[in-house]
Amino acid sequence: MDFDTDAQLAPTPASNRDWSDLPIDVLTSVFVKLGAIEVLMGAGLVCRSWLEAAKTLDPWRTVDMVHHRLVEEMYDYDSLFALFDHPEKIDGDDLCAMARVAVDRSSRQLEVFLGKKFVTDEHLKYIEDRPTSLKRLSLISCCNVSNEGFSQLITTSPLLEDILLDDCSDVKGDKFYEATGKACVHLKHFRLHGEHVSDEALGIAAMHKLRNLNLQGINVNNDELAAIIDGCPHLETLSDNSTLRAKCAGIKTVELCEYESSESSESDYDFCLFF
């Protein structure tokens, strides 16, 4: 019997592949890499098996709504001509709606939430009302988040270990940061970026379990930094963009670096100690 070797080895044309037959664990892994926005905008609706995979918990343990072009390109509808100039773009309400669906699909297993620009107190309240396993929270350029809205969420998220606040102008005050330290007893990583007065940073001294602290755009003098170091005995790495001299016993990393603006990718921030 003759065999056509070339025919046997030829890959199946993509157009003839039945993608619906992919194992659900493979689909789930793909959806985890795609992220919440891509899954909600269509990847999870291709066919019945893909829809079932999109309903599993793994894709929703981490909801990253920072690293996506729709978030970067989000515009303000208050601009009179924005809708006509950029009809393909969406606004904050659309992103909030997607974020609410993502929170619902996590079925209380949400561990990581990253949001940029669109997040409001109302959205944080939505997360608060649905108990989660939140361990990491990053908010970037969220001008509609206040002390009250943020505080209400963290008081119901006792597992929080990592917080980033970048250019969230209405989340501030030394009493607020002190309250954060008391509410988040497992907090190990705290990153505060933006324009804040030095007195506010003193509240960080109440975050006694901190191991990594990153302060950018904050004026902190030597005495204030010393108070923070005294209050955070487990601190291993600390970053600040000002020129400071302070006692640094126990600190492992010493480095000078430039201030990163809120336009930088959230993943680009480094931990270091200015000394």
Task: Please report the pLDDT score of residue 149 as a whole number.
Answer: 95
CB 149 within 8 A of CB 120: yes
Amino acid at 70: L
pLDDT one-digit tens code per residue, 49-88: 677 777 777 788 999 999 887 777 765 444 434 444 554 5
Average pLDDT over residues 97-111: 91
Is pLDDT of 240 > 60? yes
Does residue 139 carry a pLDDT above 90? Answer: yes
The more confidently predicted of residues 196 and 98 is 98
Q: What is the mean pLDDT of residues 227-244?
A: 81
pLDDT tens by residue, 121-135:
999 999 999 888 999
Q: How confident is the model at residue 258 (pLDDT cuts 50, 70, 90)?
A: low
Task: Return the domain boundaries, the chain.
Answer: 21-60, 61-268
Tell me what pLDDT residue 31 has. Answer: 77
* Average pLDDT value over all residues in the chain: 77
To the nearest whole percent, how much of the chain has pLDDT over 90?
A: 36
Which percentage of the chain shows pLDDT scores above 70?
67
SS (H, E, C) the chain: CCCCHHHHHCCCCHHHCCHHHCCHHHHHHHHHHHCHHHHHCCHHHCCHHHHHHHCCCHHHCEEEECCCHHHHCCCCCCCCCHHHHCCCCCCHHHHHHHHHHHHHHCCCCCCEEEEECCCEHHHHHHHHCCCCCCCEEEEECCCECCHHHHHHHHCCCCCCCEEEEECCCCCCCHHHHHHHHHHCCCCCEEEEEEEECHHHHHHHHHCCCCCEEEEEEECCCHHHHHHHHHHCCCCCEEEECCCCCCCCCCCCCCCCCCCCCCCCCHHHCCCCCCC
- Please check the confidence at residue 268 and state whether its pLDDT lies above 60: no
Say how far apart CA 28 and CA 148 lie, in whole Å: 36
Confidence band, pLDDT 50/70/90 cuts, at residue 248: low
Q: Is the pLDDT of residue 267 over 80?
A: no
What pLDDT sits at residue 245?
41
262 or 35: whose pLDDT is higher?
Answer: 35
Distance CA 99, CA 9 (A): 45
Supply the CATH classification number for the domain 61-268.
3.80.10.10
The CA–CA distances, whole Å, from 257 to 14, 55, 212, 229, 253 equal: 48, 43, 16, 20, 12
Q: At what angle do helices 147-154 and 121-128 cross, to 10 degrees?
A: 10
Give the pLDDT of residue 188.
97
Residue 47 pLDDT grade (very low, low, confident, very high; cuts 50, 70, 90): low
Residue 95 φ/ψ, nearest 5 degrees: -65, -40
Residue 34: what pLDDT?
78
Reported as a pLDDT band with limits 50, 70 and 90, residue 239 is confident
Q: Is the pLDDT of residue 4 over 60?
A: no
* Mean pLDDT of the 2-6 span: 45
- pLDDT band at residue 43 under the 50/70/90 scheme: low
What pLDDT does 217 receive? 80
Nearest to 177 by CA among 194, 167, 165: 165
